[in-house]
Each structure stands twice: as structure tokens, then as C-alpha cells.
Amino acid sequence: MPASLVDIAECGPRNEQASGRDRSPLLAVGIAGIGTWTRGAPDWPSLRALLRGEAGWREDAPARPAAGILPSGERRRAPDSVLLAAEIAGQACAAAGREPSSLPCVFASTHGELAITDYMCATLATAPHELSPTKFHNSVHNAPAGYWTIAAQCTAGSSAVTGYHASFGAGLLEAAALAVADDTPVLFAAYDIASSGPLAEMTRTTRAFGVALVLVPGDGALPQLAIAASSPGASVTAAPGCVADLANDNPLDAHALAFLNALAGAGARLTLPAASGLMLDMEIRT
């Protein structure tokens, strides 16, 4: 039976020998492909240049993700979360040289489709019989995974993960555990879109951001990621100051940007949350 996120989470903190930073990792994977999107940095090369101080935000960047894998009709109807998830996932698969149809996938988001959630709350409060079945269909947390697997003709397993402010770490752990347990490449995509209406007071997410990785089991010449469980009191690694506005926007953004900053440089050790009682101690080697 493949290891699950719960199996990994439970085995880490109980291992007294595993409390040091130089312990053997629970999981080791390679990063074969990276995709990112946010307004002003619509792909990994643009964001990497920004993180390295080699370039600023691009004024000519597109205002919305292209999501080229989706048929044109679906692109017109799809909500922002689907467009964002499909764009970053497509970038990562292309960078890895992997067929999207062959990859199990894990999609993670803090809040899911906030714009439609706001619409549904307002409609239910004022005219509940007018609620759109299509919008309700697009509001569910696994809608981006569903759109992706249909467009990519992917018959491998897919899952949708959320861990509130630990969603990036929770999804990354799930994807890495799956890659190692099943000895297969896995697509991981994490994303959040801008909030609207009263929900904006709670989420304070003002711009869309997403990152996708194709993780492969074993060692190789690719950037390497080693993950081990860490004590709950460990300090969370901060994102760099050059993306402070984006990092302050949403915890998923901050955690993903700290991770990407290590990938953009010479590698680093960092600690990020995966659950309320579980931290991930990670080392990235580039």
C-alpha cells in the first residue's frame, strides 16, 4: 500500500533520532520541471530573474494566464483558478519534457475559487433560486484538477489538497510521498487567486499566484529536494524582500516564494509548515 501523507506525518515527530537537522531525509526527489505565474512574472524564467535581482516586474506580461492546454471554449468559461492551475501545470510539464497524460497529479490551494464562493454566498443570501449550477460546479475544490485531467487526457490518479495556511507544504509533502512510494513522476500545482467581496477582508489575497513542479523519485543531475519532518516549533523560512508584497499577500505565496528563492539561487535549507503540528525541514540542492 502506498505511503500517505498521514503515514509520513506520523513517523517523523515520533522518531527521536530524527530531531537533528542533519538526519537522513524521509523523502528525496528531483525537480524535473517548474512552472510559475503571477501578474508581471508569467513564467519561471521571469520570476527567477526577479528573485536573482536580474530583472524587475514585466510591464508587458499578460493580465491572465493563457492556459493553452484547455480548449478555447473551456478557456472562455473556466474560472480564474482553473486558468491559473492549468497554466502553471502546463509550464512544468513542458519544462520537464513529460506528457501530462501520464502524470499523477496533486493540486493544492488555500482558499480555492474565491470569486465564485463570493458569488454563491451573495446569491444564496438574496436570490437562492437563481444560483447557477455551472458556477456551483466550478466552485468545488477539485475543479482545477478535473479540468486539467480532462484536457490532458490524464487517467492517472489526481487529488486536491488544502491545509489552510500550510497548503503549499501539505501539497508538496503529498506529491513527494506519492512519487517515492509509487516510484513515478508526479505533477504538483499550488495556486491561489485574488479574493473579492466580503471574503477579501478575511483572505487578503489581492493577486493570483501559482507554482507547479514535476517531481521525480531518486537521485540525478536535476535540482534535488530532501524532505524530513521537523519539530513544530521550528522557524518558518521567510520569502526574499524583492517579492515582499506578493509574499505578504497569502501564506501559500510566502511559502512557495521562499522555496522558489532557494531554487533560483545556489540551494538552501528551509523550514515550512505542512500542518498545524508538522513542519518540513527541507534541503534544496541545485
End-to-end C-alpha distance for the chain, whole angstroms:
32
Predicted confidence band at 4 (pLDDT cuts at 50, 70, 90)? Answer: very low
pLDDT at residue 198, rounded to an integer: 81
pLDDT at residue 82, rounded to an integer: 94
| pTM of the shown model | 0.88
Q: Name the residue among 243, 108, 229 with its Cα closest to residue 166.
A: 108
Tell me the pLDDT tens digit for each residue of 91-124.
999 999 999 999 999 999 988 888 888 888 888 9
Query: In the structure grid, which three cell numbers stand for residue 47, read together?
Result: 520570476
Query: In the structure grid, which three cell numbers stand for residue 284, read together?
Result: 534544496
Cα separation, 100 vs 154, whole angstroms: 7
Predicted confidence band at 81 (pLDDT cuts at 50, 70, 90)? Answer: very high
Comparing 85-94, 146-155, 238-247, which segment has the lowest mean pLDDT? 238-247
Q: Name the residue among 194, 188, 187 with its Cα closest to residue 209.
A: 194
| Those residues with Cβ within 8 angstroms of residue 82's Cβ, 6 or more apart along the chain or in another chain | 67, 70, 113, 138, 143, 144, 147, 148
Tell me the pLDDT tens digit for each residue of 61-80.
898 999 999 998 888 888 99
| Those residues with Cβ within 8 angstroms of residue 245's Cβ, 6 or more apart along the chain or in another chain | none
Predicted confidence band at 12 (pLDDT cuts at 50, 70, 90)? Answer: very low
pLDDT at residue 13, rounded to an integer: 35
Which one-letter DSSP state was computed for residue 136?
H
